[in-house]
Amino acid sequence: MSIVIIDYGVGNLQSLQKAFAHFGVEALITERAEEIKKADGVVLPGVGSFEAGMRGLKARGLIETVQAVAEENRPMLGICLGAQLMLSKGHEFGIHEGLSVIEGEVVKFEAEQVKEKIPEVGWNKVYPPEGVSWEKSIFAGLESPEMYFTHSYIFVPKEFEHVFGNTSYGGVEFCSVIRKGNIYGTQFHPEKSGKAGLALIENFIKLVQSVS
């Protein structure tokens, strides 16, 4: 079993790598398309702006590589910016094309609606939308876990079927987890979310093992 963490010039890669090492998995940090194509599981991390993220992927020739991995429904975990890039468009400092792995857009919190400071920084609960089961997913065994967030922008998937987790902040409920088959994206940072975050990463490892 092999898991790669994509290095496209943004993100806290070492802490994520350590989270996998906690379970005895040596996740490879790489920007090489050949290694990403061979991996059983792929992690797309990220911190920063949507435009910079897509620019980093494009500069390394990785846009089509990531899209191809997603097309195969190979296990993939997008984190924060990495998850945002999975959607079709981002509205940060202009409008920018995303990877379109999942249809939807990334928009800024509406300041006049949110009764808290933006960006959201800190711990917050994640819970499944009504009618959605977390059983047999990377959230198995987790019940409304508290995860660590730091963001000003949020997911707006086109289809409800891709909304896999929600969070409330300042009186506004927003989508904090997206899913399409074996592909997941989290607005929070599991590698910074203590035991609950580690449990999610362990579940992702199990998913990769089950399909590899």
6: phi then psi, degrees, rounded to nearest 5: -75, 125
Complete DSSP assignment for 85-144: TTSSEE-SSS-EE---SSSEEEEE--TTT--S-SSEEEEEE-BPPTT---TTSTTTT-SS
210: left (phi over 0), alpha (psi -120 to 50) or beta: alpha
Asked if 162 is an active-site residue, the reply is no
Q: Indicate which residue of 105, 162, 189, 202 is catalytic.
A: 189
Q: How distant is the alpha carbon of residue 177 from its chain centre?
A: 7
Marked catalytic residue, from 92, 105, 120, 191 = 191
pTM for the predicted model, two decimal places:
0.96
Active site annotation includes 80: yes
Arithmetic mean of pLDDT over the chain: 96
**189 has catalytic annotation:** yes
Report residues of the chain scoring pLDDT below 50: none
d(CA 27, CA 90): 28
- Exactly one of 80, 96, 162, 202 is catalytic; which is it? 80
Residue-wise pLDDT tens digits, 165-186: 999 999 999 999 999 999 999 9
CATH number of 3-211: 3.40.50.880
Token pair recorded at residue 57: 């992927």
